[in-house]
Amino acid sequence: MSKPLSQHSFFDGSYLGDRARLAPTARLECKVCWHVYDPAEGCEAWQIPPGTPFNALPDHWRCPVCDGARDAFMVLDGGTPDLPAVMRPAPVDPALERQLAEAPGTFEAVFREIHAAKMKGVPFVNGTLGVKAVGFRIHDGRVMGVLVTPWFMNIVLLPNAADDWSTLKTGDRELIDFPSGAYEFLAANRPETGPYKACSLFSPMFDFSSMLQAVETAEAVIPGLLDPANREDGTRSGEIRRRAEAEDAARAAAEAAADEAAGNAPRPRATAPAEMSRRALILGPSAADQLRDGAA
Residue 61's closest CA among 75, 74, 44? Answer: 44
Phi-psi region of 11 (alpha: psi -120 to 50; beta: other; left: phi over 0): beta
> Which of 31-35, 99-103, 187-191 shows the lowest per-residue confidence on average (mean pLDDT)?
31-35
pLDDT digits (tens, 9 = 90+) for 61-100: 889 888 888 888 888 876 555 544 444 555 668 899 899 9
pLDDT digits (tens, 9 = 90+) for 24-40: 888 888 888 888 999 88
pLDDT digits (tens, 9 = 90+) for 133-179: 999 998 889 999 999 999 999 999 999 999 999 999 999 999 999 88
Return the percentage of the chain with pLDDT > 70, whole number: 68
Per-residue pLDDT, 245: 58
Residue 206's closest CA among 154, 151, 155? Answer: 151
Residue 261: other Cβ atoms inside 10 A = 8
Q: DSSP H helical segments within 12-148, as ranges? A: 94-116
Query: pTM (2 decimals)?
Result: 0.60
Gyration radius of the chain over CA positions: 23
Per-residue pLDDT, 190: 94
Residue 187's closest CA among 171, 209, 167, 164? Answer: 171
Q: Judge whether residue 217 has pLDDT over 80.
A: yes
SS3 state at 35: coil
CA-to-CA distance for 163 and 247, rounded, in angstroms?
A: 44
At position 14, the amino acid (one-letter code) is S
Beta bridge partners, 28, equal 37, 75
